[in-house]
Amino acid sequence: MRKQKDPKRLAEYESLLRAVDEMDVPEPSAEMGRKFQALLEEAKKARFQEDRATVRRPSPFFNLRFGLLPRLAAILSLVIVGWFLGYQVTPRPERARIDFLASEVREMKKTVMLAMLENSSAAERMKAVQGAQDLTGLDESVLDALTRTVNNDPNVGVRLMAVNALAHYAASPKVREALIRSIVRQKSPLVQLALADVMLALNEKRAVEPIRRIIASPLVDYSVKGKLEAAVRELL
Amino acid sequence: MIRVKQGDLDKLAVLYERYSRILFGFFFKVTLNSQASEDLVQTVFFKIIKYRERYRAEEGSFVTWMFRIAHNANIDHYHSLERSRNEVRIDETDVRSDEDTDDDFLKKERSRRIKEALGLLTGEQREVLILSRYQGLKYEEIAEILRCRVGTVKARVFRAMEKLRRVYRQLEER
C-alpha cells in the first residue's frame, strides 16, 4: 500500500478512474425494453394462473387427481379386483386338494371320536359325544355309535348327552326309529324322561306304546310314572 | 421491491425504469459488449422475479441484493464464454466522424484506450473495479455482493487499479 501514498501515482489513479467513469457507454436498444415488457407480462400471467389455481384448488382429500379419497378408492378397487382374479385364477385341482384335506380332517376327527366312545373314562366319552355334535354332516357310523351309546353306555350322563346329540338329527327316520326303540331299553328314570321329552318335541305318536310299557313296569319310579303318563296324554 | 415481493409485479416496471440503465452501464463496463449487457440486464430482472420471495429488506439494501444477482449472472456469463472458448468481444464504436472536433476526438481516443485497457484486465478485476465506482457502494457492500471479506475487496481493487495503470501506460506508449 506504500504506492498509494505516492501523490503522482494517486493522481494517476484518479485520472484513470475518471476515465472509467466517463467511458462512453452506448444506449441500450429499444429491444431490451420490449424484452423486459414481455418478461413482465409472462410473469404476471403466471402469477394470475397461480392465484386462480390456489382459489379453485379443492380440499386435497377430494382432489380428483391427487386427493386421498380417489387414491383410497383406487387401492380398494385394486384389492377387490386382485382378490377376485386370484380366486378365479386359483387352479381347480388346488380347490379339490383343499376339499380333500378338509374331508381328511373330518375323517380324522370322526375316528378320534369313535375311539373316545370306547374309552373307559366317562368324561372322555362325554367329550366324544360333544365332538360328535360338532361334526358337520353326520354319517351312518357316527349315528350308529351314538345309538349304541344311548342304549349301552354304563354312565347315565353319557347316555343323556347321546340322547340330546341324536335329537339334533331326529329329522332322519332312522334316528327317530332308533330313539323310539331305545325307550324300552332304558332303566334310568332320567334317560326315560329325556327320551319322553324328545318324543313330545317331535310329536312322535309311535312312542306312546313303548312309553306305556315302561309305565306298566312294576319297577318304574312313582314320580317318573306320573310324568310319562302326562307325556302319553299329550302325544295322544 | 417489497411490493414486488408481495406480488405487485407492476411495481417491477418502476424498478426497471430506475435501475436498468445503471445495470446496463455496469455490465457494459465489465463485459465491454452491449449485446451481452442487454442479455445480462434481462437475466437480472428475470431472477428478481423468480427469487422475489427470497428478498429480505432487513438483510441489506435492494441495490446490494440486485448487484449480487448481477455478479452471479456475470459469473455464469464468463463460464459460458469459457465453455464456448470465446474471448471478450469489445464493441468498436469509437470511430472519428467528420463532425468531431479535436477535443471530441481526444475524448473518444481516451475512452477507446481505457476500454482497451479494461479489456486486458480479468473479468474479476473489471467487476470489482466497476463496483467500487458504482452507486456509492461501500467496500462492506461490495464484500457482501462478492461474498468475501472487506480486506479481500480492498486488495482486489488495488491490484486491479495497478494493472489498469500499467496496461493503460503501455497502450499510451505504443
pLDDT tens by residue, B122-145: 888 999 989 888 767 889 999 988
pLDDT at position A84 is 86
Confidence band (pLDDT; 50, 70, 90) for A230?
confident
| CB < 8 Å to A29, chain B | 34, 38
Question: Who contacts B70 (Cβ-Cβ below 8 Å, separation ≥6)?
Answer: B23, B26, B27, B40, B44
pLDDT at position B149 is 92
- The pTM for the full model equals 0.50
Whether B170 contacts chain A with CB within 8 A: no
Whether A38 contacts chain B with CB within 8 A: no
Measured between CB atoms, which of B29, B37, B165 is closest to A13? B165
Residue with cell 456469463: B77
| CB < 8 Å to B38, chain A | 28-29, 31-32, 35
Whether B146 contacts chain A with CB within 8 A: no
| CB < 8 Å to A47, chain B | 7, 9
Give how far Cα A43 sits from Cα of A87, A179, B13, B56, B165, Å: 56, 96, 12, 21, 45
Q: Dihedral through CA B129, CA B133, CA B134, CA B136, nearest 10?
A: 130
State yes or no: pLDDT of B93 exceeds 60.
no
